[in-house]
Amino acid sequence: MKKRVLSGIRSTGQLHLGNYFGALRNFVRLQDEAECFFFIADYHSLTTHPDPTVLHSNVRNILSEYLAAGIDPEKATIYVQSDVPEVAELSLLLGMHAYVGELERTASFKDKVRKNPNNVNIGLLNYPVLMASDILLHRADYVPVGKDQEQHLEMTRHLAHRFNQIYKTDFFNEKVAPFNFGKDLVKIPGLDGSGKMGKSEGNGIYLSDPDNVIRKKVMKAVTDSGPTEPNSPISEPIQNIFTIMEAVSAPDTIEYFKEKYASCEIRYGDLKKQLAEDIIATVAPIRERIEDIRANDKYLHEVTEMGAEKARRSARATIEEVRRIMGIYKF
């Protein structure tokens, strides 16, 4: 029996290299090996109060990018989170056994509070519960996520265990695991020398970026003044560039520039130019497919309708059993 995999991306604009290498690339590989559920998390995006006039356009963009990256709706279940209302009900039910203190201690909540102290809403606090509901709704075995989401997976396992203990059942999988094809979960750093690549940070390369925009962004990437002694440790900003190169460049290219760094002969302009061309080689074919798919209304409608039907079939089965376990019955 195939293992079940689930993951999604918030509908907050366009997808970047971090999304592609941290999630989408794995989605494409997994759809041939597992039963896959991939969704666009428009409910999750509401925590930051997006403009209602662009929310649907953002969903459309990400759906097009999913498909352009190689997700096949005949192989995987692709759906929009809000097309499956059962996830909201499961979030409510699981929330009865999630406590304010543990939610306030999550790294993501503390980070959001620090960045937006005037928007500390219940949705932000409940974010890990809704994410757990996304996963447990389809009884997933694996979730291909980036490093920053590992704590949310731990919360999912915690809530599953608590539910099973309280109701003396083994219904929910308590061993939901992260999945990646490498040794480590992939985290693509931003071009500004600080933290991960992210939409809100404005430090990313988007899958839909034109070639000239990619070159311009990469040439502005943060560096340092250069090594002053042979075999000096690589500084964080330069290591960030090498980390991106490890995702898009050939091994001999990376080795060449590392040797130049070690010998104090490196020219950061050459390093950035090479990185930009390697990113373009990765992104350009995807970008062309995105443009074609985004313009095809009929195809996008068919994909979302088929995905919603398959996802709700799975979701209804879970909700019916959760209701029964918790003692919620119809007359």
Catalytic machinery residues: 112, 196, 199
Q: Name which of 12, 22, 11, 63 is nearest 197 in CA terms.
A: 22
**What does the DSSP 8-state code read for residue 178?**
E
What is d(CA 50, CA 11) in angstroms, rounded to the nearest whole number? 9
Q: CA-CA distance, 100 to 112, in Å (whole number)?
A: 16
Phi first, then psi: give them for residue 120, nearest 5 degrees.
-95, 85
| C-beta separation of 244 from 17 below 8 A | yes
* The one-letter amino acid at 240: N
46 Cβ contact list (under 8 Å, min separation 6): 123
* Rounded-to-integer distance, Cα 50 and Cα 13, Å: 10
